[in-house]
Each structure stands twice: as C-alpha cells, then as structure tokens.
Structure 1
C-alpha cells in the first residue's frame, strides 16, 4: 500500500521533504524560488535577470523545447526542470545531456512529469540530479534503482570515459 506521506522528490539520491521551488503560471507574480516557463523568461529577461542571478529563479522546459533554445543562458538558473509528458518520450534525456555537455550547465537538473523508477538510473547518466517522481512511485524502490547496474560500458555525463579507459 502506498504511503502518501513519503516524499516524491529525490535529490542527490536522497528524499527531499522541504523543497522551496514552486511552479508559477505565466500570469502569476514571480516570487523567490519560482519555476517559470521558457516563454516567460524570453519575454521578461530584463526584469527577471537579477532574481535569476541571485539563484532564486528556475526554469521549466517542456518536451517540445530544446537545449539550444536556452543555450548559454542556462547558467542563469539554479534549477532547470525538464518535463517528461509520458514514459515513452525520451526527448528530455537529450535535452539534459546537451545542457550538461554542450552548454556547460552545472546547476540542478530535475526531471518532472511522468517520471518512473525504471528511468532514474538512465536519467542520472544524462545529468539529472533531482527527480520529481510520479505520485504512484515508491521512494524505496526509486532509491534502489540508482544501483541497477554496477558497471556501464558507455560513457555518460558523470564520467566521459568509456569502460576500457576506466580500467
């Protein structure tokens, strides 16, 4: 039976109960620790820049929005959330990897939406550091999922060397 009191957010492989970040719609006022849309950022950069530079503004990218639409501006945000509208939609993996490798983003990357335990190991390899689990996912199973494989042949965001170079 699901325990509804358990947290559904994991960060750095730990459950989080007191996350300050909150989504604001494009017509709502932007307070500290607000997560805004890319279109809102693009329309209001000048007004929002100071809040972003203070580390108190986050960005939500939909599955249709790509890393190159944000590009070098990614460093303006302490947190970037990438939406997975359904389990089978893998565009968020590419967006995360490009933000890390091509655009050098070092902040927190959070997967949101239809995030399942089965995806966590692979999301982490693409550069995600926090995960907003779908409400029916078990936190203990999610924590165990990070150890799904002990060795990976391919490189990833965390270690760009292939297996034969790691020996």
Structure 2
C-alpha cells in the first residue's frame, strides 16, 4: 500500500487517484469502488451519479494546476479529500489554490498535495493549508519519507501570515508597554 505524509506522520494510503487514460472521456471514465480521487472534470460531468459516494466519504476530487478552487465553491464541503496536483515542482499555483480553499471557501477536510511534491516544499505546503503530502510514486522510499517529516518543522515560528497562521508574528506576540519617561 502506498504511503504519504498526513498531519506530520507517514501513513498508509488507501485512496486511489483516477486519471483519464488516452481516449477516455469524463463520461466513460472508470471510477473503481473504494476510496477514489477523480479529476474535477469527471465530477462536473457525472455529479449526480457520484454525489452519493462523495457524501458517504468514498469519493474525493483533484484539481489540476490550471483549475481554480471556485469550481468547487458549492461542493467543497461534501468531499472528505480534495487533491491539488503539482505537475512539476516549479508550478506554484497549487499553493494559492490550497490557501483559497482553506480561507475563502472554508474547506476543513483533508487537503492533499499530489504529484511533483518535493521534500524542500513540505513546510511551505503545510503553511498553505495542506495536511497530506503525496509525492509521486517511487519518488521516496519509506525511510526517506520518515526522514522528510523533519522538514515540516524547518521554521518553528513563521513570521509571515499564512493559511495556518492568519496573523503575522508581530500581531501574535504580546509586547509589554515601554516605561513612560517622566520629565
């Protein structure tokens, strides 16, 4: 069973990511039984057919890098898992999508980074709102994933505001009032 980092721990993953094979359309794409993440276009095309599985927590959706969170605005809460694909490590649009899902759309379920997810990015991904990190299959061994969890704590107290810390550090730190100078 594949592994991923979820809430700072390496765990087994029983979710399958469905992709459209060559020649397959959203109408005829195979959606297997069990826990599956389907592409947004499959959800949009077959919403009525798949809604029961989503409501039962068996079906999630994943967004491509060019698909914005507004496409899920009305449905986000029905999904136990929303995945955001990083097709290459230099494509940072998924960070914005995650932050918007958490802050603007109030998504509180599992938000999963999938694809070209690299160890150097783990801390930044979690600060953007991701709680599950799923690097491409074969990218890391189980031992490397375990070691990579340390990078989640690279910065113990972030200065900037983020999805996980809405206020910047200077707003979070209580400061005493300086003593008044008497004249």
Give the alignment partner of residue 9 of structure 1, picking from 4, 15, 24: 4
Aligned residues: 161
Instruction: Say if 1:8 and 1:133, in contact at 8 Å, map to a contact too.
Output: no
Unpaired stretches in structure 1, ≥5 consecutive residues? none
Confirm or deny that 1:95 pairs with 2:90: no
Partner secondary structure for residue 112 of structure 1: strand
Alignment of 1:10-29 (within 5 A): 10-17=5-12, 19-25=13-19, 26=26, 27-29=29-31
**How far is the alpha carbon of 1:164 from its aligned partner?**
1.3
Provide the residue aligned with 1:157 in structure 2: 163
Instruction: Say if 1:85 and 1:113, in contact at 8 Å, map to a contact too.
Output: yes
Displacement over 4 Å in runs of 4+: none
Alignment of 1:28-107 (within 5 A): 28-107=30-109
Cα deviation digits, residues 20-59 of structure 1 (max 9, x gap): 2112344213423111111111111111111111111110
What's the Cα RMSD here?
A: 1.6
Instruction: Say if 1:38 and 1:60, in contact at 8 Å, map to a contact too.
Output: yes
Q: Give the TM-score normalised by the residue count of structure 2.
A: 0.82
Bigger Rg, which one: 2
Unpaired stretches in structure 2, ≥5 consecutive residues? 20-25, 174-183
Instruction: Say if 2:31 and 2:38, in contact at 8 Å, map to a contact too.
Output: no
Provide the residue aligned with 1:148 in structure 2: 154
